Each structure stands twice: as structure tokens, then as C-alpha cells.
């Protein structure tokens, strides 16, 4: 599962996983994909957890990323993502809802998708659990597979990396533009610390 | 040099003080209005608009006489800020047509329109463009184009429009001498001699004029033939800051009325920037207070913008959060302007947000989360953890890393501020138990470290810490840090 296959213009993608499952790393890979090719992205950060240093290491171009910090207010985060999804020109709008995603009604999810479709914006919802239901065109779950340490076995000196597995839990078909690979249970991905 | 200039446009605004007052208060255009200076009973008229002039109100007459001639005359006090702002606005508007200007006087600008053929069109098109540019900033201007500055000035005043280069003397011959403001001595002489048109003045013998009127006579003779005086062209250059100001007739205590005044000021400022193909990069608001003090606020815009409404929303939010400590007597908004950039998409790529759309969305976001929580960031030049600074969102930024393949990188989710935790260490001084992180108590299943980082030891803000990467029994992989100064442990973030 590549980051580019998660991004679909005019649709909602959900990326869910436990804490330390690699969901934020995959989110940064998506942002790198967008900003690296010269487009503009926006990140609505419900908890203010975004780390610019990690983003730069991942290759995100910070000057093309609009960062909105919501200070833990979920309702504000939803209002912000709704605003940004209606602004043509953002190739990707991400909501990082963290560990306590807000409740989103099915109607609100479909309205968000409609707004994204009209504006030509890809929406990515990242959090611990799914919130958009049938409003999401694609939903993937990521989980941690293993940790790797570097240095002596009894006293490692650094965290070498983490491997994760990504599994598609929902995919709405029907579009010839769709470039996601066929569902593969537990596709493995390595992240360097 | 002047000799190089072959086509000069003169932009002239009649009764400039009155036009400036109308620009600040557009409703005055519908009624007779005069600008007065001084206090009754010695108050005098400085300027009057067209409706007032139809009633015989002229500059220089007493206010009482003006009211007698026009009982419904609306009077406004002369405002230097208003005239200065209109003066600068007219120059800005002309700059949008041609970069070579001469600032002659308030309401009078010479514009070099030579060489604009492929960009704008012929002289008539250039004159029309200048007329529209002045109208867009609320000033009714007349434009004359000729081969010399003197002829262009007379063409603008007399409404001749475009005068063919080289044919100035013939074109001006039929113009009344009253279309030109002469020195008193010249005006009296012309009246005494029965000279009615510029052609008659040009036909007088030059030596005789010099003998009777001296250098002033020769200058009048040159002017009548459309010949320039020998003063060099004084080019006007763009100011680094663009300011629009307004003095208030009465003090304002509340935010609502103040925002209405600011709305007009900001709209005028943004119209000037639009006319010069510029956008505002930062704004500075200065409010003069009744007690004699000032209230100044600076707004760094998240993206360059030229739309008035988002700027007003930002100003309202700023003033709501930090209101002025007293009644406001005058307002001034200053913009740091940068050139507008044509932004387009590359083939197959999404075009960045339009400036107006982005400015509007940013203004809405600011009202939602506050001005400090929206924008782009850049890494700070420091090794201090979580060091970043606010930066401008720049969709056109050139990326040095975009084409470099990178390994997927494990990201850190920051806790802001870092959470203080209790850590139990084993015999090797390595963490073995963490309390107060994400779960109440968690065993350390694996850890790596320490990595010592420190900085600013040469200054009062010295810091130092040991960082550990730990895998906890609750499933989280965290970064812990022990402050070397206090010995306290903190949860810096979670790898995710």
C-alpha cells in the first residue's frame, strides 16, 4: 500500500490504527507525496501533535503545508476540515484526529465528501477509529508488526525502526481512475527511526 | 532625460481636496460639498465639488458666503491625511499603467506612456487605462496625452484628450487662456491686452513679451505653444510601505463603529494595491487615541493577500483580543507590499489555491482557532527540541528535496507541553517502569539510549537532556527525556 494509493481527489480516505501503529508516519508519507510534487496541502491537527522535524525528515515541504492547530477541540477541527475541503487548490486536506476522533454523522460525512468532490480536494481522516462510515471511499487499518533496535542486545543504543502492516477494511469501487492495488491482507512496510 | 520622452500623459484631478474628501466618504458625491479651513467667522473654502461649483461655490470665498450661495452645502474640514492618502493612491494607480511617473503636485501626475504600445495599445488606450485606474481608486481624473508635459497638462485641463506629437501648438491654439492657471501678473496682462486663446498668445512677438513681462512672459509664451520648461523629469519611485489613513470627526469608543471606519480605509488600501498589481505581505495598524497615545498592532499575514474582507476579519479579531485603551481619533493602516505573482499549475498538477480563496479560508480559520494557530512553519536554527518558527505559506516554494528518494521515516507525535512522568530506573540506570505516561503504570519492554543533547550553554538559557526511546507494556513506543538540570523525566512524544 503506497501513500499515493491513499490519496484520491474528491474522495475521503480513512487511515486508522492504534497509537504507535505507524499511522502518523503513513500520513507524513502522504503529505510528502503531495508537497513534494509541488502541490499544497493542509493539516488540521486536533491535538497539536504534528512534529515539524519528523515531517522534514520524511520529506514534507513545510512551506506548502498549512498547519491548523485546534488545541484539542474536536468540533473546531471538524469545522476547519469542512472549510478547507471547500477551498479549491488544496490537493490534500488531512484531519489528524488523534486518539479520540470526533463523532461524525453519516450526513455530515457525505456532505464533506460532496464538498471535496466539488472542490477537487482529497480528504484524509487519520485517527484511532473510523468516523466517516460509508462516506469514506477507502479505509485502511495499520498495525505495528515489530520493532527493531540497534546496538548491543542487552543495552540497545537507538531505535532502528518499525515495521507495520496495512490492511484495507473498506473500498468503494466503480471508478476507472482508481489506482489502489487489490486488497492484500497485511502488506508490510518498514519505517526508519 | 526629457528628450527621450516622446509621449506624456497628464493625469489631473480637479478640485483635489474635495475629490479626496469624496473618496473617503463616497456618499458626498451626491450632494454639494466644500472643504473648509479655519474656524467661523473666518473660515474659507479650500475646494468644492462639481455640484457645489454649479451653485457658485469657489475656492477662496468665505464659508458664510458659500452657504448663502448654496444653502444645502455640506462642509468638511480640510484633512491632510485624506489628501495625502488620495495623492499616494493616484500615484499608485498610475504606476499600474507605467513605471515612469513624475509627481508634480497633489492631483497632478505626469506619466511616460511611450513604449506601451504592445502592452496597452496606442495613446488613446493608454489614456483610457489611466482614467480607469484613477476611477478604480475613487478619483475622477481627466487625462491628456501629448508630446510634451506642458501640452499634456493643458490637454488634460481643456479636455482635448490625445494631442498628436509635433502638433501641440496647433492643437492648443483654440484653447481659452482661462484653462491655464497663470501668475497674477500674466493673467492681468492677458486680460488687458484682450488675449482670449493660447493661439493668440503664441502669436505675440516673443521679444516684446520678454521686454514687457520678463522671464514669466517667456514661460507663458512657451506654455501657449506647448513647449516644456527645461526642468528635468523627476521620477517617482514606489514607497516601501503603503499607507491609508483617516482622521475621525469624533472619537470612537466601540469596536463596531471602528470596524466600519477601518473597512473603508482597508478597502481603499487594497484597491491601491490591486491597481499597482501588488499584494499585502504584512499589515500595521495604528490608532491615534484621545489621550495623545497610540495603539499599534502588527499582523503577519499567513499568505499575501489583496482582499479587504479577510483582512478586516483579521483586524477585528486582533482588536477584539487586544482592544485600544481609549477613544480612537484617527486610524492608519500600513501595508508592506510585494509583487503579485502569476500562479499556475504545471501540467498534470493541481493549481495552488487562488489568493482570494486562500485569504478567505485563512480569515475563517483565524476566527476558529486564533491567529497563532494557523499558518505554515519552518524549522528554527536551533538544536532545542521542537524548535520551529512561523513562516509564510508559499505554494510556489522551490523544493530541494522533492526529487530525492527518501526511506519512509518513523514519525513522532509531540506532546505539547511535554508531560511530566515518574520513571523507575534499574541498576544500569536504564528506565524500567514509567508512571503517568499514557497508562497509569507501564513496564518498559525495550529501551535505547541515552542520547545526550544540549545547547545554549554559553547563555542564560542553557539546557541539556538525555533522551531515551522506550517500548512500553501498554503498546506505546515513546521518547522520554530526562532534564539534566532538574533531573525530572518528561514524555516528549510517541512514535507513531
Nearest to A151 among B352, B406, B448 (CB): B448
Percent helix, strand and coil across chain B, each to the nearest 5: 35, 30, 35
- Residues of chain A positioned with their CB less than 8 A from the CB of B496: 19-25
Nearest to A88 among B357, B375, B399 (CB): B357
Judged by CB atoms closer than 8 Å, whether chains meet at B446 and A156 is answered as yes
Locate A152 and state its grid cell.
Answer: 548491543
Cα–Cα distance, A189 to B208 (Å, whole number): 99
Residue B323 distance to chain A (closest CA, Å): 24
List, for residues A71-114, the tens digit of each pLDDT value.
999 999 999 999 999 998 899 999 999 999 998 999 999 999 99
Judged by CB atoms closer than 8 Å, whether chains meet at B399 and A157 is answered as no
Judged by CB atoms closer than 8 Å, whether chains meet at B365 and A68 is answered as yes
Non-local CB neighbours of A105 within 8 Å, separated by 6+ positions: none
Q: ∠ CA A18-A62-A136 to the nearest 5 degrees? A: 40
- Residues of chain B positioned with their CB less than 8 A from the CB of A40: 350, 352-353, 393, 395
Judged by CB atoms closer than 8 Å, whether chains meet at A192 and B409 is answered as yes
Mutation site for B-interface testing, chosen from A64, A76, A153, A163 by largest number of B Cβ within 10 Å: A64
Secondary structure (DSSP) of B383-422 = -STT-EEEE---TTPPPSSTTS----B--EEEEEEEEEEE
A154 DSSP 8-state letter: S
Spatial contact of A55 and B408, defined as CB atoms under 8 Å apart = no
If phi over 0 gives left and psi between -120 and 50 gives alpha, with beta otherwise, what is residue B306?
alpha
Judged by CB atoms closer than 8 Å, whether chains meet at A55 and B413 is answered as no
Non-local CB neighbours of B283 within 8 Å, separated by 6+ positions: B298, B299, B301, B311, B314, B315, B333, B334, B335, B336
Q: How, if at all, do strands A122-127 and A138-151 pair?
A: unpaired
Locate B73 and state its grid cell.
Answer: 452645502
Flag whether pLDDT at A123 surpasses 50: yes
Locate B325 and state its grid cell.
Answer: 485603551
Q: Residue A5: pLDDT band by 50, 70, 90 thresholds?
A: confident
- Residues of chain A positioned with their CB less than 8 A from the CB of B428: 155
Judged by CB atoms closer than 8 Å, whether chains meet at B397 and A63 is answered as yes
- Helix spans in B25-79 (H): 50-54, 63-69
Residue A135 distance to chain B (closest CA, Å): 23
Closest chain B residue to A70, measured at CA? B369
Residue B343 distance to chain A (closest CA, Å): 11
The β-bridge partners of B8 are B112, B146
If phi over 0 gives left and psi between -120 and 50 gives alpha, with beta otherwise, what is residue B190?
alpha
- Residues of chain B positioned with their CB less than 8 A from the CB of A27: 411
Spatial contact of B362 and B302, defined as CB atoms under 8 Å apart = yes
Which residue from A161, A157, A127 is spatially nearest to A144, judged by alpha carbons?
A: A161
Locate B30 and state its grid cell.
Answer: 451626491
Spatial contact of B244 and B331, defined as CB atoms under 8 Å apart = no
Q: What is the largest CA-CA distance in chain A?
A: 56
- Residues of chain A positioned with their CB less than 8 A from the CB of B449: 157-158
- Domain spans, chain A: 3-185
Nearest to B416 among A37, A48, A84 (CB): A48
Residue ranges, chain B, pLDDT below 70: 1-5, 341-350, 398-405
Non-local CB neighbours of B454 within 8 Å, separated by 6+ positions: B462, B463, B464, B465, B484
User: In this structure, how many other beta carbons lie within 10 angstroms of the beta carbon of residue A177?
Assistant: 8
Burial category of A21 from C-beta neighbours within 10 Å (exposed 0-12, middle 13-18, buried 19 and up): buried
- Residues of chain B positioned with their CB less than 8 A from the CB of A68: 365, 369, 373-374
Non-local CB neighbours of A71 within 8 Å, separated by 6+ positions: A48, B369, B373
Mutation site for B-interface testing, chosen from A36, A158, A159 by largest number of B Cβ within 10 Å: A159
Judged by CB atoms closer than 8 Å, whether chains meet at B495 and A155 is answered as no
Sequence length of chain B is 496
Judged by CB atoms closer than 8 Å, whether chains meet at A158 and B302 is answered as no
Judged by CB atoms closer than 8 Å, whether chains meet at B364 and A83 is answered as yes
Judged by CB atoms closer than 8 Å, whether chains meet at A19 and B386 is answered as no
Spatial contact of B126 and B145, defined as CB atoms under 8 Å apart = yes
- Residues of chain A positioned with their CB less than 8 A from the CB of B310: none
Closest chain A residue to B431, measured at CA? A155
Q: Is the pTM of this model over 0.80?
A: no
Spatial contact of A19 and A99, defined as CB atoms under 8 Å apart = yes
pLDDT of residue B245: 87
Flag whether pLDDT at A22 surpasses 70: yes
Flag whether pLDDT at A180 surpasses 50: no
Residue A38 distance to chain B (closest CA, Å): 7
Mutation site for A-interface testing, chosen from B347, B390, B410 by largest number of A Cβ within 10 Å: B410
Nearest to A83 among B365, B392, B415 (CB): B365
Locate A55 and state its grid cell.
Answer: 515531517
Backbone angles phi, psi at A126, to 5 degrees: -120, 130
List, for residues B456-479, the tens digit of each pLDDT value.
888 888 999 999 999 999 999 999
Residue A83 distance to chain B (closest CA, Å): 7
Residue B460 distance to chain A (closest CA, Å): 25
Judged by CB atoms closer than 8 Å, whether chains meet at A91 and B350 is answered as yes
Spatial contact of A27 and B484, defined as CB atoms under 8 Å apart = no
Closest chain B residue to A75, measured at CA? B368
Judged by CB atoms closer than 8 Å, whether chains meet at A158 and B448 is answered as yes
If phi over 0 gives left and psi between -120 and 50 gives alpha, with beta otherwise, what is residue B256?
alpha
B176 DSSP 8-state letter: B
ipTM for the whole complex:
0.92
CATH topology (fold) of B241-339: Dna Ligase; domain 1 (3.30.1490)
Domain range B2-13+80-225, its CATH number among 2.60.40.10, 3.40.50.300, 3.40.50.2000, 3.30.70.270: 3.30.70.270
CATH code reported for the domain at A3-185: 3.40.50.300
Judged by CB atoms closer than 8 Å, whether chains meet at A159 and B448 is answered as yes
Nearest to A89 among B353, B368, B451 (CB): B353
C-beta contacts of B21-26 below 8 A and 24+ residues apart: B21/B76, B21/B79, B21/B82, B22/B49, B22/B138, B23/B82, B23/B85, B23/B86, B23/B89, B23/B137, B23/B138, B23/B139, B23/B268, B24/B79, B24/B82, B24/B85, B24/B86, B24/B246, B24/B264, B24/B268, B25/B76, B26/B138
Residue A15 distance to chain B (closest CA, Å): 13
- Domain spans, chain B: 2-13+80-225, 241-339, 412-495
Amino acid at each position: 500500500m503506497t501513500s499515493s494509493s491513499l490519496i484520491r481527489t474528491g474522495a475521503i480516505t480513512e487511515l486508522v490504527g492504534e497509537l504507535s501503529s505507524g499511522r502518523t508516519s503513513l500520513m507524513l508519507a502522504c503529505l510528502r507525496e503531495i508537497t513534494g510534487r509541488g502541490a499544497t496541502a493542509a493539516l488540521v491537527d486536533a491535538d497539536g501533535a504534528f512534529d515539524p522535524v519528523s515531517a522534514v525528515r520524511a520529506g514534507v515541504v513545510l512551506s506548502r503545508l498549512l498547519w491548523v492547530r485546534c488545541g484539542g477541540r474536536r468540533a473546531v477541527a471538524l469545522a476547519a476540515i469542512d472549510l478547507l475541503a471547500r477551498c479549491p487548490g488544496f490537493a490534500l486536506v488531512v484531519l489528524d484526529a488523534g486518539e479520540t476522533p470526533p463523532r461524525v454523522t453519516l450526513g455530515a460525512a457525505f456532505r464533506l465528501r460532496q464538498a471535496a468532490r466539488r472542490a477537487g480536494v482529497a480528504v484524509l481522516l487519520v485517527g484511532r477509529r473510523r468516523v466517516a462510515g460509508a462516506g469514506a471511499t477507502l479505509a485502511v487499518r495499520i498495525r505495528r508488526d515489530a520493532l527493531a533496535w540497534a546496538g548491543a542486545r542487552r543495552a540497545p543504543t537507538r531505535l532502528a525502526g518499525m515495521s507495520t502492516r496495512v490492511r484495507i477494511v473498506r473500498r468503494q469501487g466503480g471508478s476507472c481512475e482508481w489506482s489502489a492495488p487489490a486488497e492484500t491482507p497485511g502488506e508490510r512496510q518498514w519505517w526508519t527511526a | 532625460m526629457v528628450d527621450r520622452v516622446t509621449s506624456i500623459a497628464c493625469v489631473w484631478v480637479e478640485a483635489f481636496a474635495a475629490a479626496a474628501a469624496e473618496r473617503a466618504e463616497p456618499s458626498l458625491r451626491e450632494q454639494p460639498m466644500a472643504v473648509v479651513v479655519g474656524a467661523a467667522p473666518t473660515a474659507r473654502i479650500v475646494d468644492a465639488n462639481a455640484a457645489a461649483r454649479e451653485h457658485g461655490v469657489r475656492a477662496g470665498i468665505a464659508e458664510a458666503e458659500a452657504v448663502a450661495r448654496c444653502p444645502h452645502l455640506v462642509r468638511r474640514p480640510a484633512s491632510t491625511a485624506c489628501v495625502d492618502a488620495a495623492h499616494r493612491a493616484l500615484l499608485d494607480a498610475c504606476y499600474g499603467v507605467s513605471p515612469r511617473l513624475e509627481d508634480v503636485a497633489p492631483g497632478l501626475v505626469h506619466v511616460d506612456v511611450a513604449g506601451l504600445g504592445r502592452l496597452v495599445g496606442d495613446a488613446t488606450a493608454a489614456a483610457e487605462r489611466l482614467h480607469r485606474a484613477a476611477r478604480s481608486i475613487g478619483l475622477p481624473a481627466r487625462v491628456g496625452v501629448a508630446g510634451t508635459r506642458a501640452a499634456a497638462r493643458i490637454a488634460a485641463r481643456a479636455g482635448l484628450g490625445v494631442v498628436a506629437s509635433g502638433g501641440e501648438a496647433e492643437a492648443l491654439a483654440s484653447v481659452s487662456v482661462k484653462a491655464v492657471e497663470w501668475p497674477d501678473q500674466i493673467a492681468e496682462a492677458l486680460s488687458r491686452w484682450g488675449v482670449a486663446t493660447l493661439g493668440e498668445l503664441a502669436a505675440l512677438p516673443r521679444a516684446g513679451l520678454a521686454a514687457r513681462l520678463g522671464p514669466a512672459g517667456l514661460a507663458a509664451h512657451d506654455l501657449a505653444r506647448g513647449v516644456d520648461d527645461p526642468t528635468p523629469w523627476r521620477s517617482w519611485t514606489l514607497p516601501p510601505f503603503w499607507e491609508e489613513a483617516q482622521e475621525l470627526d469624533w472619537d470612537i469608543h466601540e469596536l463596531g463603529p471602528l470596524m466600519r471606519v477601518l473597512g473603508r480605509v482597508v478597502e481603499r488600501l487594497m484597491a491601491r494595491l490591486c491597481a499597482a498589481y501588488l499584494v499585502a505581505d504584512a499589515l500595521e495598524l495604528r490608532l491615534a487615541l484621545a489621550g495623545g497615545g497610540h495603539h499599534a498592532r502588527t499582523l503577519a499575514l499567513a499568505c499575501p493577500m489583496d482582499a479587504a474582507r479577510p483582512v478586516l476579519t483579521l483586524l477585528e479579531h486582533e482588536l477584539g483580543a487586544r482592544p485600544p485603551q481609549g477613544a480612537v481619533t484617527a486610524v492608519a493602516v500600513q501595508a508592506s507590499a510585494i509583487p503579485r505573482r502569476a500562479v499556475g499549475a504545471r501540467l498534470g498538477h493541481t493549481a495552488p489555491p487562488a489568493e482570494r480563496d486562500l485569504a478567505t479560508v485563512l480569515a475563517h480559520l483565524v476566527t476558529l482557532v486564533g491567529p497563532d494557530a494557523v499558518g505554515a512553519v519552518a524549522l528554527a536554527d536551533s538544536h532545542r527540541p521542537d524548535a520551529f518558527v512561523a513562516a509564510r505559506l508559499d505554494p510556489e516554494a522551490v523544493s530541494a528535496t522533492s526529487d530525492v528518494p527518501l526511506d519512509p521515516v518513523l514519525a513522532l507525535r509531540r506532546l505539547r507541553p511535554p508531560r511530566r512522568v515518574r520513571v523507575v530506573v534499574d541498576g544500569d540506570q536504564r528506565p524500567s517502569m514509567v508512571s503517568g505516561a499514557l497508562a497509569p503504570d507501564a513496564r518498559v519492554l525495550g529501551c535505547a539510549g541515552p542520547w545526550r543533547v544540549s545547547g545554549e550553554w554559553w547563555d542564560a538559557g542553557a539546557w541539556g537532556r538525555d533522551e531515551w526511546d522506550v517500548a512500553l507494556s501498554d503498546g506505546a513506543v515513546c521518547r522520554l527525556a530526562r532534564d539534566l538540570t532538574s533531573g525530572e523525566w518528561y514524555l516528549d512524544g510517541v512514535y507513531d
